[in-house]
Amino acid sequence: MKIRVIHGPNLNLLGQREPEIYGSETLTEVDASLAKAAADLGASVICSQHNGEGAIIDAIQDAGRAADGLLLNPGGYTHTSVAIRDAVSAITIPTIEIHLSNTYARESFRHRSLIAGVVKARVLGFGSESYTLGLRGLLKLLKSSS
């Protein structure tokens, strides 16, 4: 199973940006931990990070052609991007929305996800473990549908 992981804007600053919210792990460490978890579960991950909306859309479309499933952390675009929502709805692979923080425990503008209606599930609030939990759920979903 090939799983694509797309990290959205500002996630390249993990470890230095608001560690009280996002934790102290760097994105490199998050990706390494996710790759190990995937290997332990018989899968592989390809991770990328993009600050621009268009680059995220390109990556989603690429995932739709080359991966079995998608873990997507759209970052701040979660609350604003109809275009990212449309890209997710245009692909046929299952997508899990990931967030490090509990968006409902933060500012009110973060309570709404434009992506939520087109993903299979959402995992949020567990820090970097949100990715691993999302991976486990996605792989279970993929195995049960095959």
Q: DSSP string spanning 85-132?
A: HHHHHH--S-EEEEESS-GGGS-GGGG--SSGGGSSEEEESSTTHHHH
Identify the active-site residue in 7, 50, 77, 99: 99
Instruction: Name all domains of the chain by residue range, CATH numbers in brackets.
Output: 2-145 (3.40.50.9100)
**Residue range 71-89, pLDDT digits in tens:** 999 999 999 999 999 999 9
pTM of the entire predicted model: 0.94
Annotated active-site residue 99? The verdict is yes
When pLDDT is averaged across residues 41-49 and rounded to a whole number, the result is: 98
Annotated active-site residue 50? The verdict is no
Residues 6+ apart with CB under 8 A from 109: 79
Identify the active-site residue in 7, 22, 50, 131: 22
**CA 115, 146, 69: angle at the middle one, nearest 5?**
30
State what percent of residues in the chain have pLDDT above 90.
85
**Residue range 81-127, pLDDT digits in tens:** 999 999 999 999 999 999 998 887 787 877 889 999 999 999 999 99
> Given pLDDT bands bounded at 50, 70 and 90, which one contains residue 21?
confident
